Structure 1
């Protein structure tokens, strides 16, 4: 459970989460390029671009605020790690498109759940508004990934 009732603390989490997402998508894009799948590499490249845009938005919202420089143990992540931290352990020369999409979809769902939980549990109206907006953006990513996943029957089981 999160205990985020301060806009600066929320934005510190949002910046870290979006940076992790951008890095993960960029890594998946490069992996797909390496394996010769240019179409999926381009898709992940576009997702990385969206995450970088969300990161820029979070940083812009930080504006005049003093954003805390959190140590890893200071973050209030549900499982101890950023919801969208790169899970690239399965990234190897046999990585399939299906597996790459599954990795991305799982992490986007975790990001969505994180923002939704903050929106639900915060006592700060500004934090709630921002968390709801970020949750909506994550929901768009989930929807895009689900559309792509439908193109790969192995993911439908």
Structure 2
């Protein structure tokens, strides 16, 4: 259980860094495929992840954040939720598969933050985890709209 704000912030920073990197990877694949519309979506999603990352870093700026070894992270399944879904990205991935991978990552991020909020006793952790979960849920909705748009195009 993540029940102190410093440990929560280290997890959030890592998760959002992973998300930004993976969205940048997906944007590059879409650039190579010549799909500017979806490339711009993934670039925007990378930007949002960097904003969340900066927010977590700023909130941790007045604290001394712990340095966690990989084994000390409390990820469900052993990997950062945003990193776990990104295995298999290659230059041949098509748009529907790329969107599904992105959606899976956002759902996992939402579930991670919701799980932290549900289990934590620290009110600051609960509040911040719920806030981050809400932001991730918004990303889920946006990706679902894109998937529906692509399916009808």
Which bracket does the TM-score occupy, shorter chain normalised?
A: over 0.9
Higher helix fraction (1 or 2): 2
Q: Which residue of 2 aligns with 1:67?
A: 65
What root-mean-square deviation, in Å, do the aligned CA atoms of Structure 1 and Structure 2 show? 1.3
The answer to whether the 8 A contact 1:21-1:86 is kept is no
- What TM-score does the superposition give when structure 1 sets the normalisation length? 0.93
Q: Which residue of 2 aligns with 1:25?
A: 23
Which stretches of structure 1, 4 residues or longer, exceed 2 Å deviation after superposition? 86-94
Task: Quote the offset at 1:21 in angstroms.
Answer: 0.4
- What TM-score does the superposition give when structure 2 sets the normalisation length? 0.95
Unaligned runs of 5+ in 2: none
Task: Quote the offset at 1:64 in angstroms.
Answer: 1.2
Between Structure 1 and Structure 2, how many residues are aligned? 152
Return the match for 2:44 from 36, 39, 46. 46
Q: Distance in 1 between matches of 2:89 and 2:132?
A: 28
Task: Quote the offset at 1:147 in angstroms.
Answer: 0.6
**1:71-150 paired onto structure 2 within 5 Å:** 71-85=69-83, 87-150=85-148
Unaligned runs of 5+ in 1: none
